[in-house]
Homo-oligomer: A and B are copies of this chain.
Amino acid sequence: MSITYLEAIREAQAKALADDSRVFIYGQDIGSFGGAFKATKNLAAEFPGRVLDAPISEDAMIGAAVGAAIEGLRPIIEIQFADFSTVGFNQIVNQAASLFWRTNVPCPITIRLPGGGTSGGGPFHSQSLEAIYAHYPGLVVMTPATVEDAYSMLLEAVAIDDPVIFFEHKFLYYHLKAEGLPTEALPTGKARIARPGRDMTIVTYSAMVHEALKAAEDLAAEGTEVEVVDLRSVRPMDTDTIMASVARTGRLLCVGEAWPWGGVTAEVLARVSTEGFDLLDAPPQRLNAKDTPVPYHPNLWAAHRPTADSIASAARNLLRL
């Protein structure tokens, strides 16, 4: 059996609904239609009354999730595109993120944000907003890169007693496949060594893991062994695994699909330079999307985000430092 990243997300939701009567899903077009991307296909029929179509009201959708969580439920909210979460932003960062700290009452909600770029997506259907949410205390931010993680991390997101921002990458939806669903998984907060190597560490997450792995293959052909660390969750961020890898390789390149200013790559570099300075044989480097909105035309888009080629090129530069 072969299963896609998108199907894994659907399966995880099916399992969460089946295993835990506190779970329900709320989002636009997710009921009988099965969602804009079909991540909830058939779930409304399988779980009557527990997969609800929402009006186009992101603020109210998140607010309602918080209220339901207070009453002991475990809502999953699907936002149609991560980009539209900006109109529900306040409820996420001020209502959900502060609830436990203010009241000692947990806020176990999962907000699914289909994010990241695809060809032709354009400025408002392509954004990678992990840094915006990770800046706020009180949120967990997951960025699964594999089919297995899409499945197991979504299940864990539902189980976690805190608001989880679950960034599922649209570029991986259909193309990424696995042989089956995992039965065990790393816990949230643990990064994964996606490929071991001795010459350099590339820290990345989500769709960029695959670009980094491709780059690593190219570099291997040139005799450079790159270690690729998949962060899995960018908050919490597994500093220990990063540091251990840098300790082995002495070189760090951090890659993110988001904009550079204050992104995941900045946070990784800040941690490594404060706490792992002496481990570094060369200045740590970062590679991000270009510092503009995400362009519509495929040619521009391909140049806007990091790719295997630009990662390999950055890695080669870093090796020369």
Q: Which residues of A contact B (CB under 8 A)?
A: 59, 83, 86-87, 89-90, 93-94, 97-98, 101-102, 123-124, 131-132, 134-138, 235, 258-259, 261-267, 269-270, 272-275, 277-278, 280, 282-286, 291-293
Instruction: Assess whether A98 is in contact with B123, with CB atoms less than 8 Å apart.
Output: yes
| Complex alpha-carbon distance, A59 and B235, angstroms | 29
Cβ distance A68 to chain B, nearest Cβ, rounded Å: 21
In the A-B complex, list the 4 residue pairs whose CB atoms are closest, starting with the nearest: A277-B283, A273-B273, A266-B270, A269-B270
Residues of B within 8 A of A97 (CB): 293
Rounded to whole angstroms, the CA-CA distance of A98 and B291 in the bound complex is 12
Minimum Cβ distance to chain B for residue A180 (Å): 35
CB distance from A158 to the nearest CB of B (A): 23
- List 16 extra interface pairs beyond A138-B293, A262-B263, A278-B283, CB under 8 A: A59-B87, A86-B93, A86-B94, A97-B293, A101-B123, A132-B132, A134-B261, A135-B258, A135-B262, A137-B261, A138-B292, A262-B262, A269-B269, A270-B270, A274-B285, A275-B283
The answer to whether A262 touches B134 (Cβ under 8 A) is yes
Q: How far is the CB of A275 from chain B (nearest CB, A)?
A: 7
Cα separation A273 to B275 with both chains bound (whole Å)? 12
- In the assembled complex, the Cα of A213 lies from the Cα of B210 at a distance in Å of 47
Are A262's CB and B273's CB within 8 A?
no
What's the nearest-Cβ distance from chain B to residue A131, in Å?
5
Bound state CA distance, A17 and B250, in angstroms? 56
* Distance (whole angstroms) from the CB of A140 to the closest CB of chain B: 12
- When chains A and B are docked, how far (Å) is the Cα of A267 from the Cα of B124? 25
Cβ A94 vs Cβ B265 within 8 A: no
Please give, as numbers and ranges, the residues of chain B lying within 8 Å of A235 by CB-CB distance. 261
Q: Measured between C-beta atoms, what is the minimum distance from A271 to chain B in Å?
A: 8
Asked if residues B262 and A266 are in contact (CB atoms below 8 Å), the reply is yes
> How many angstroms between the C-alpha atoms of A267 and B284 in the bound complex?
13
Q: Hey, which chain B residues are within 8 Å of A293, CB to CB?
A: 97-98, 101-102, 137-138
Contact partner, A262, options B83, B131, B291, Cβ 8 Å? B131
CB-contact partner of A269 in B132, B264, B274, under 8 A:
B274
Instruction: Report yes or no: B101 in contact with A263, Cβ–Cβ below 8 A.
Output: no
Chain B's nearest CB lies how many Å from the CB of A288? 10
